[in-house]
């Protein structure tokens, strides 16, 4: 009898608990989700802790610094923009759980700059913002697949794709290193697949290709990679990997006094991040690098100066680097999209605004964006520079020479793109 | 009383299913998603309870066996486009095979040696996926079970669909498990756990019994893995970190490791903790690093408190207390 009582008690408790949970459910809102008369709510997931967070964990601070400035200057038609940030530790499971919280609990209007190819893919397939009509503005990955509007109807890229970067690198190699032996280090996933596709289109034949699995990069692994590049007598070695892979490679190369002509992909090419891991700045000297936005040390550039001033005031003691510049640039573009979405922005009008006006949004990049009714592609190219003895990337000869291309078979051309002047006070107009 | 013990108890599970069916229509989508997560944890924690609580073997490697199941389900879904039920079935079989192999080795080990072996598995196995291109490397494979059938209506959400699948699979599994634990096998395991020599003397082949427990436990873990990857839409090594194995163990301890009836406590706690931590961190207005680490801290604190104050879990504690009271009453 006692057993029966206990079971009844347990069942009753369980049923009560579940109904209690049900009672806390909030009824659907009438107005657009995430938009009130005083506020527009955006959400972001990215690694804020753990090894993968290095460098990237400055992005929310950068974006918030711009939004705070914007809010202090009237916001978007009187609405303040707030950013809810969730740490996914670069784990897809966490990214899905946190994105669910953002959409279903925090009820954000749109997602801003979620980071990582695998994470964005997991979120797309599980949370499925496309089916829910939730805009995913400016994903923080260069995987070309995210521009597929059929598969990801509400997702917009901003960084130039890895394919574009590889094609532009290929063009540069043909012009400057014809006949030299080229080696390539790449990540063995979508990131690397994109790169290989780009180099293939550019017609580059490698003397040696070294793949690595994401997460396997270490000093010991780098020593192994160097053996392969040495054996193939590579003159130019392209490091098309994440920051930790680039840093491991350059660190070990410095010890072994291995010094080919380095060429660094933009993903792992942020000098501040590389130097933070203990790589001597001198190793970077004369390496070739690529970036869509101006050099972060270029205080003559009006955007760089503007963003740098806001950031150093908002986050004292933190270095203004490429992650910060890109983070603020993305926030700046999001602000323009929200402004262009009308007096009472909705998810639909926000998407429509990027389709119709995205290509003309003012931003710091030196290459054009390709947003249109039929394209979710953001920036489309890079300028080529060299690292200084102090390890900073700056344009060769002091002037930016930018190239633009697409993720298909299109040619790589020098761009004549005229960047829009910065709007007054750096506010969307 | 004795007769009841041997009956199949099908009715409570059917009632449970009906309640869940109506509930899924009443709560908002976040709760439905959390419900699916609870179902995953229920199966995963049961797998530990079966192994540790009933057969007395410690395993820290359940996360790895979940990964085996998840990959098996995803690969069979991608390669052969099998229906989801079949994929789940394959996940159970694949993980059970892995468990049988592990169990054969484990039968020779015990205590810290067994814990060490399974710990190594939890660390090493998921990253093996990087070595085989069919497993998709670090970014993993998409495991997309597809949209809910249109016959369920336009309003029927993806997560409700996941929840239905997960809840049904869980109910069936729990029913099967409960019956196994009440059967001869369950008694054999408990005998072996209580005193191995005595069990052997009474004619039980303890080695075989341990391997069987490992196999079944692994099969359950495999199912949990497949369900987990269904709810997140992908399978990747990073979805099965060491922390997962540890939090499952915590869930099992919270549930009371020697009895299956508390399993909901552990599962609900694991899902609720991040949310509670979020509220606490929000109210305190703490920094990012505190917000991130608070859930881990709360899980660990709960683990320690449980071990200190209710070492057998709240359900077993309650049971022991009422038994004591009953004995006291009958002695009067």
Please indicate whether, in this complex, the C-beta atoms of A14 and B264 are within 8 angstroms of each other: yes
Q: Of the ranges B19-33, B47-61, B283-297, which one carries the lowest mean pLDDT score?
A: B283-297
Question: What confidence tens digit (pLDDT) does each residue in A370-384 have?
Answer: 999 999 999 999 999
- Range A185-211 average pLDDT: 92
- Crossing angle for the helix pair A190-202 and A162-176, nearest 10 degrees? 40
pLDDT at residue B4 greater than cutoff 70: no
Q: Closest Cα of chain B to A136: distance in Å?
A: 18
For residue A122, list chain B residues with Cβ-Cβ distance below 8 A: 232-234, 236
Q: Which of B39 and A17 is assigned the larger pLDDT?
A: B39
The partner residue sitting opposite B137, judged by closest CB among A10, A87, A188, is: A188
pLDDT at B158: 82
Instruction: Flag whether residue B320 sits within 8 Å of chain A, measured between CB atoms.
Output: no
Q: Closest Cα of chain B to A123: distance in Å?
A: 7
- Range A144-173 average pLDDT: 94
Instruction: Flag whether residue B237 sits within 8 Å of chain A, measured between CB atoms.
Output: yes
Please indicate whether, in this complex, the C-beta atoms of B278 and A101 are within 8 angstroms of each other: yes
Q: Which of A54 and A204 is assigned the larger pLDDT?
A: A204
In DSSP terms, A84 is beta-bridged to A43
Question: What confidence tens digit (pLDDT) does each residue in A294-320 have?
Answer: 999 999 999 999 999 999 999 999 999
- Rounded to whole angstroms, the Cα distance separating A414 from A171 reads 11
- Range A339-346 average pLDDT: 93
The partner residue sitting opposite B144, judged by closest CB among A49, A90, A125, is: A125
CA A149 to chain CA centroid, Å, is 18
Q: Closest Cα of chain A to B205: distance in Å?
A: 32
Residue of B nearest to A22 (CA): B27
pLDDT at B286: 66
Residue of A nearest to B237 (CA): A91
Instruction: Flag whether residue B120 sits within 8 Å of chain A, measured between CB atoms.
Output: no
How far apart are the two ends of chain B, measured CA to CA in Å?
A: 24
Question: What confidence tens digit (pLDDT) does each residue in B124-169 have?
Answer: 888 787 777 788 776 778 887 777 777 777 777 888 888 999 999 9
The partner residue sitting opposite A121, judged by closest CB among B142, B288, B289, is: B142
- Range B16-31 average pLDDT: 84
From the candidate CATH numbers 3.40.50.300, 3.40.50.2300, 3.20.20.70, 3.30.70.1880, the one assigned to the domain spanning A39-160+299-379: 3.40.50.2300
Phi, psi of B23 (to 5 degrees): -60, -40
The partner residue sitting opposite B137, judged by closest CB among A11, A18, A189, is: A189
- Range B72-83 average pLDDT: 92
pLDDT at A5: 58
Please indicate whether, in this complex, the C-beta atoms of A118 and B292 are within 8 angstroms of each other: no
- Rounded to whole angstroms, the Cα distance separating A275 from A272 reads 5
Please indicate whether, in this complex, the C-beta atoms of A215 and B138 are within 8 angstroms of each other: yes
Instruction: Flag whether residue B276 sits within 8 Å of chain A, measured between CB atoms.
Output: no
Mutate to test the interface with A, among B70, B127, B234, B240 (most CBs of A within 10 A): B234
Give the three-class secondary structure for A403.
Answer: strand
Please indicate whether, in this complex, the C-beta atoms of B239 and A97 are within 8 angstroms of each other: no
> Tokens in use for A109?
């209007």
Instruction: Flag whether residue B6 sits within 8 Å of chain A, measured between CB atoms.
Output: no
* pLDDT category of residue A9 using cuts at 50, 70 and 90: low
pLDDT at residue A23 greater than cutoff 50: no
pLDDT at residue A15 greater than cutoff 60: no
Instruction: Flag whether residue B152 sits within 8 Å of chain A, measured between CB atoms.
Output: no
Mutate to test the interface with A, among B137, B242, B260 (most CBs of A within 10 A): B137
Please indicate whether, in this complex, the C-beta atoms of A214 and B137 are within 8 angstroms of each other: yes
Residue of A nearest to B262 (CA): A10
* pLDDT category of residue A6 using cuts at 50, 70 and 90: low
Give ranges for CATH 3.40.50.2300 in chain A.
Answer: 39-160+299-379, 162-291
Specify whether the CB–CB gap between B221 and B99 falls below 8 A: yes
Specify whether the CB–CB gap between A362 and A350 falls below 8 A: no
From the candidate CATH numbers 3.40.50.2300, 1.10.1040.50, 3.30.930.10, 3.40.50.620, the one assigned to the domain spanning A162-291: 3.40.50.2300
* pLDDT category of residue B1 using cuts at 50, 70 and 90: very low
| A8 contacts: CB under 8 Å, gap ≥ 6 | none
* pLDDT category of residue B55 using cuts at 50, 70 and 90: confident
For residue B293, list chain A residues with Cβ-Cβ distance below 8 A: 49
Question: What confidence tens digit (pLDDT) does each residue in B86-98 have?
Answer: 999 999 999 999 9
- This model of the complex carries an ipTM of 0.74
Please indicate whether, in this complex, the C-beta atoms of B26 and A25 are within 8 angstroms of each other: yes
Dmax over CA atoms of chain A, in Å, equals: 90
Beta-strand relationship, A381-387 and A393-395 = antiparallel
For Cα atoms A298, A300, A301, give the angle at the middle one, nearest 5 degrees.
Answer: 75
Count Cβ atoms within 10 A of the Cβ of residue B293 and give its class: 0-12 exposed, 13-18 middle, 19 or more buried.
middle
Please indicate whether, in this complex, the C-beta atoms of B238 and A90 are within 8 angstroms of each other: yes
Q: Of the ranges A133-137, A151-155, A397-401, which one carries the lowest mean pLDDT score?
A: A397-401
Predicted model pTM: 0.81
Could you tell me which of B9, B22, B73, B31 has the C-alpha nearest to residue B230? B73
The radius of gyration of chain B's CA atoms, rounded to the nearest angstrom, is 20
| Mean pLDDT value across chain A | 89
Mutate to test the interface with B, among A6, A14, A18 (most CBs of B within 10 A): A18
For residue B136, list chain A residues with Cβ-Cβ distance below 8 A: 189
DSSP state of A115: B
The partner residue sitting opposite A10, judged by closest CB among B31, B261, B288, is: B261
The CB density around residue A61, as the number of other CB atoms within 10 Å, is 18
Chains A–B, number of C-beta pairs less than 8 Å apart: 120
Please indicate whether, in this complex, the C-beta atoms of B233 and A214 are within 8 angstroms of each other: no
pLDDT at residue A239 greater than cutoff 90: yes
């Amino acid at each position: 009898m006692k057993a029966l009582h206990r079971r009844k008690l347990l069942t009753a408790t369980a049923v009560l608990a579940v109904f209690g949970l049900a009672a806390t459910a909030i009824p659907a809102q009438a107005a657009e989700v995430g938009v009130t008369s005083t506020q527009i709510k955006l959400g972001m997931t990215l690694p804020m802790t753990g090894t993968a967070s290095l460098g990237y964990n400055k992005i929310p601070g950068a974006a918030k610094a711009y939004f705070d400035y914007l809010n202090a200057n009237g916001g978007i038609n009187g609405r303040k923009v707030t950013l809810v940030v969730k740490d996914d530790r670069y784990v897809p499971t966490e990214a899905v759980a946190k994105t669910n919280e953002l959409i279903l609990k925090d009820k954000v209007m749109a997602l801003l700059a979620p980071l990582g190819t695998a994470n964005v893919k997991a979120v797309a397939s599980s949370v499925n913002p496309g089916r829910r009509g939730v805009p995913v503005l400016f994903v923080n990955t260069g995987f070309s697949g995210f521009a597929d509007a059929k598969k990801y109807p509400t997702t917009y890229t901003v960084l130039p794709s890895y394919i574009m970067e590889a094609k532009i690198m290929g063009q540069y190699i043909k012009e400057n290193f014809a006949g030299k032996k080229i080696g390539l280090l790449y990540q063995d996933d979508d990131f690397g697949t994109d790169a290989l596709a780009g180099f293939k289109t550019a017609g580059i034949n490698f003397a040696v290709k070294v793949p690595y699995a994401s997460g396997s990069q270490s000093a010991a692994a780098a020593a192994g990679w160097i053996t392969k590049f040495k054996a193939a007598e590579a003159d130019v070695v392209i490091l098309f990997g994440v920051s930790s892979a680039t840093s491991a490679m350059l660190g070990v190369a410095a010890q072994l006094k291995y010094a080919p002509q380095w060429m660094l992909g933009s993903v792992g090419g942020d000098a501040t991040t590389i130097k933070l891991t203990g790589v001597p700045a001198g190793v970077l000297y004369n390496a070739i690098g690529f970036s869509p936005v101006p050099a972060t040390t270029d205080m003559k550039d009006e955007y760089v100066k503007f963003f740098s001033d806001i950031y150093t005031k908002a986050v004292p003691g933190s270095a203004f680097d490429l992650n910060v510049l890109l983070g603020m640039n993305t926030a700046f573009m999001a602000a323009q999209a929200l402004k262009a979405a009308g007096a009472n922005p909705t998810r639909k009008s926000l998407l429509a605004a990027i389709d119709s006006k995205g290509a003309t949004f003012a931003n710091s990049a030196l290459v054009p964006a390709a947003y249109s009714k039929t394209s979710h592609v953001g920036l489309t190219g890079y300028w080529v520079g060299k690292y200084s003895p102090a390890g900073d990337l700056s344009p060769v000869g002091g002037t930016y020479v930018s190239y633009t291309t697409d993720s298909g078979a299109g040619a790589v051309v020098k761009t004549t793109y005229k960047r829009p002047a910065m709007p007054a006070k750096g506010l969307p107009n | 009383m004795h007769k009841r013990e041997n009956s199949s108890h099908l009715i409570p599970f059917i009632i449970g299913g009906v309640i869940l069916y109506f509930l899924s229509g009443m709560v908002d989508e976040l709760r439905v998603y959390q419900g699916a997560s609870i179902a995953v944890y229920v199966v995963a924690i049961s797998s530990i309870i079966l192994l540790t609580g009933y057969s007395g073997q410690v395993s820290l490697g359940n996360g790895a066996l979940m990964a085996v199941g998840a990959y098996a389900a995803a690969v069979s879904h991608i390669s052969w486009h099998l229906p989801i039920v079949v994929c789940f079935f394959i996940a159970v079989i694949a993980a059970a095979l892995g468990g049988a192999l592990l169990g054969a080795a484990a039968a020779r080990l015990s205590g810290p040696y067994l814990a060490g072996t399974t710990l190594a598995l939890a660390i090493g196995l998921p990253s093996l996926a990087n070595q085989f291109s069919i497993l998709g490397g670090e970014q993993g494979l998409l495991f997309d079970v597809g949209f809910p059938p249109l016959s369920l209506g336009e309003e029927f959400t993806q997560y409700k669909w996941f929840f239905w699948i997960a809840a049904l699979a869980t109910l069936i599994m729990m029913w099967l498990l409960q019956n196994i634990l009440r059967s001869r096998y369950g008694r054999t395991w408990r005998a072996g756990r209580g005193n191995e020599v005595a069990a052997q003397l009474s004619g039980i082949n303890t080695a075989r019994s341990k391997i069987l427990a490992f196999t079944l436990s692994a099969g359950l873990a495999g199912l949990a893995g497949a369900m987990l990857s269904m709810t997140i839409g992908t399978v990747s090594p990073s979805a099965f970190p060491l922390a997962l194995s540890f939090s499952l163990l915590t869930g099992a301890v919270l549930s009371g490791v020697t009895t299956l009836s508390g399993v909901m406590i552990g599962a609900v706690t694991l899902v609720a903790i991040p949310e509670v931590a979020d509220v606490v961190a929000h109210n305190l207005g703490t920094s990012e690093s505190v917000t991130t680490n608070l859930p881990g801290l709360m899980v660990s604190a709960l683990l320690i408190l449980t071990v200190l104050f209710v070492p057998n879990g709240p359900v077993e504690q309650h049971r022991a207390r009422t038994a004591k009271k009953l004995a006291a009453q009958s002695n009067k």
